[in-house]
């Protein structure tokens, strides 16, 4: 029991420190005028394609998909915190401490992920009406926990990837951007999963976002509860899978890094 408590405490402090780091970079003004504007522009960029195609249905498709993507983006950005750990030279200190590194890493980025989820919902509820869409109330409120689910799922995926690159810090920016754009391509964000050839659809369903997004679309379109539940279940499964993979491999990557000395560069 005490292990659980101390782990929880470690997590809590890590979350708080991650949050502090985040707010060291952003002020409220820059969050609103910088990040928010970008986020709304991003969703609008794709939603406008619906206008080009002269279809409200398409507009909704793009808008919902790309708004949810914002949550996943937040989760993916969290990878940056991992490598800044190594950059600051605090990684060695962390490894020397009794806590499990994966716990700290996983917790430090939680705030960024939560920010992504919040932004996604903001985008959805501001731009939906702006683009003339009508969301069914109160059913639409279900989208809130579902978006959080997508965010967490993407976060587990991102934590796993962070372990993969922990030894090669300079690749982080590239991986973050590559991940984001690949998820945008493969997770049914801008085209339905049915559009992909069979093998690609299979890969898509193993990635975070895909199933959860379908659940969200189901909610908005008024699909039966069973369908929604099935998609939610699938997303939970995917999330657990990536989480398990992260927990198992993180330690291994760190040990490999300790063996070959690649964790040391504070440059």
User: d(Cα 113, Cα 115) in Å, to the nearest integer?
Assistant: 5
Burial 24-56 (b: 16+ CB within 10 A, else e): eeeeeeebeeeeeeebbebbbebbebbeeeeee
Q: Output 18 or 101, the one with its CB closest to other proteins.
A: 18
Q: Output 107 or 158, the one with its CB closest to other proteins.
A: 158
| Residue ranges in 133-224 assigned as alpha helix (H) | 143-164, 172-186, 198-206, 210-221
- Token pair, residue 144, equals 């809130």
Q: Is 170 in the site for other proteins (CB under 8 A)?
A: yes
**Cβ(124)–Cβ(64) under 8 Å?**
yes
Q: How far is the CB of 258 from other proteins (least distance, A)?
A: 18
Q: Cβ-count burial of 4 within 10 angstroms (0-12 exposed, 13-18 middle, 19+ buried)? A: exposed
Q: Output 57 or 139, the one with its CB closest to other proteins.
A: 57
Q: Output 12 or 26, the one with its CB closest to other proteins.
A: 26
- Restricted to residues 29-88, the positions that interact with other proteins (CB under 8 A) are 30, 33-35, 37-38, 41-42, 44-45, 48-49, 51-53, 55, 58
The dihedral region occupied by 127, where left means phi > 0, alpha psi between -120 and 50, and beta the remainder, is alpha
Instruction: Give the closest residue to 177 by CA, choosing from 158, 163, 193, 152.
Output: 158
Binding mask 125-164 for other proteins (x = CB under 8 A): ----------------------------------------
User: d(Cα 32, Cα 205) in Å, to the nearest integer?
Assistant: 34
Q: Is 185 in the site for other proteins (CB under 8 A)?
A: yes
Q: Is 178 in the site for other proteins (CB under 8 A)?
A: yes
Q: Output 62 or 155, the one with its CB closest to other proteins.
A: 62
Q: Which stretch binds other proteins (CB under 8 A): 19-27, 108-116, 228-236, 244-252?
A: 19-27
Total residues at interface with other proteins (CB under 8 A): 36
Binding site residues, other proteins, CB under 8 A = 25-27, 30, 33-35, 37-38, 41-42, 44-45, 48-49, 51-53, 55, 58, 170-171, 173-174, 177-178, 181-182, 184-185, 190-192, 195, 265, 267
């Amino acid at each position: 029991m005490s292990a659980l408590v101390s782990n929880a405490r470690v997590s809590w402090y890590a979350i708080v420190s991650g949050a502090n780091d985040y707010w060291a970079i952003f002020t409220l003004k820059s969050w609103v005028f910088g990040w928010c504007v970008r986020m709304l522009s991003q969703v609008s960029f794709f939603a406008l394609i619906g206008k080009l195609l002269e279809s409200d249905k398409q507009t909704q498709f793009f808008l919902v998909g790309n708004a949810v993507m914002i949550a996943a983006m937040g989760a993916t950005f969290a990878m940056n915190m991992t490598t800044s750990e190594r950059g600051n030279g605090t990684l060695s200190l962390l490894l020397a401490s009794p806590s499990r590194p994966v716990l700290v890493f996983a917790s430090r980025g939680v705030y960024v992920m939560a920010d992504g989820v919040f932004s996604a919902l903001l985008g959805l509820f501001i731009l939906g009406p702006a683009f003339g869409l009508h969301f069914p109330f109160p059913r639409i409120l279900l989208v809130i926990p579902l978006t959080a689910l997508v965010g967490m799922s993407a976060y587990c995926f991102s934590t796993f990837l962070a372990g993969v690159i922990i030894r090669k810090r300079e690749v982080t920016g590239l991986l973050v951007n590559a991940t984001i754009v690949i998820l945008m391509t493969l997770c049914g964000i801008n085209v339905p999963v049915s559009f992909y050839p069979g093998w690609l659809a299979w890969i898509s369903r193993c990635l975070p976002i895909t199933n959860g997004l379908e659940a969200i679309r189901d909610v908005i379109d008024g699909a039966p509860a069973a369908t929604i539940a099935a998609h939610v279940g699938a997303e939970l499964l995917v999330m657990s899978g990536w989480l398990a993979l992260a927990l198992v491999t993180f330690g291994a990557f760190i040990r490999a890094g300790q063996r070959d000395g690649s964790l040391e560069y504070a440059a």
